[in-house]
Chains A and B, each alone.
Chain A
Amino acid sequence: MNEQRRDILQMLAEGKITSEEAEQLIAALERESAGSTAPGADGPPKPRPKYLRVVVDSTDNFGGDGPGRVNVRVPLQLLRAGVRLASLIPPQALGQASVELRKSGVPFDLSQLKPEQLEALIEHLDDVTVEVDQPDVKVHVFCE
């Protein structure tokens, strides 16, 4: 926005536009910036999701009891607190765990995983939707 204002002032200095025209252009720029930052300018803001939902629907008739359903709702704050808990693990324990993972054929270094990265992952969970459709079971994971 400062660059556009600078361009307007430059044109005024070069005589390409009059002072009234420059004033109108700057006022239009200010209206545009106020409109784009005002809430609801592009529609109502999307509320941030608060919960992670896992819904499992099974059509299997376990022992004649009928179909089963599992519905779990977990606050996203719990995931964030869990990430902080993971950051308490001492580095030597992380190193040992990484060594064991490598021995099992998983070349993953747990010490490279930073809490900020996990927090960023949780921040973007609201766009994540996982759906698994099988003939006898449906799994749906989403944020709301």
Chain B
Amino acid sequence: MPQVITVRVSRPHRRPIRLWIPLVPILLVLLPVLVVATLVATVACLAYRINPIRALGTGWRLLCATRGTRINVEQGRTAVLVGIS
């Protein structure tokens, strides 16, 4: 499972912004919302005749597979980097 999201924004004539966002504490804080969202997703899967366990498992696999993603956009002297590790 990805642990940290890194965001780095470099702008000309300004100090660069660096953010390290730890995912596990944020998920713990948002746990009640996640539980409600999971229940809603389960009901939606049942309504559309999709196996909810398979759907949740696939969603979890998708989340875990994002580890190693890097997106880097540069425009002139402005650069934005988002990394998931």
Contacts and interface: CB of A to CB of B under 8 A. Distances in A.
Nearest to A68: B75
A126 to B, nearest CB: 16
Contact of B66 (A50, A64, A78, A90): A78
A90 B65 contact: no
Interface of B: 48-51, 54-55, 58-59, 61-62, 64-78
Contacts of A71: 70-74
A6 interface: no
Contacts of A93: 48
A80 B69 contact: no
Contact of A88 (B54, B67, B71): B54
Given A66-B77, A78-B66, A88-B55, A72 B49 contact: no
A112 B39 CA distance: 32
30 contacts: A50-B68, A62-B76, A64-B76, A65-B76, A65-B78, A66-B76, A68-B74, A69-B72, A69-B75, A70-B74, A71-B70, A71-B73, A71-B74, A73-B70, A74-B69, A75-B69, A77-B64, A78-B65, A78-B66, A78-B69, A81-B58, A81-B61, A85-B58, A85-B59, A85-B62, A88-B55, A90-B48, A90-B49, A90-B50, A93-B48
Contacts of B78: 65
A16 interface: no
A8 to B, nearest CB: 50
Nearest to A72: B71
Contacts of B54: 88
Contact of B70 (A72, A82, A88): A72
In order of increasing CB-CB distance, the 4 nearest A-B pairs are A66-B76, A65-B76, A77-B65, A78-B65
Q: Is the interface of B mostly helix, strand, loop or mixed?
A: mixed
Contacts of A78: 62, 65-66, 69
B82 to A, nearest CB: 10
Given A75-B67, A90-B48, A90-B49, A84 B75 contact: no
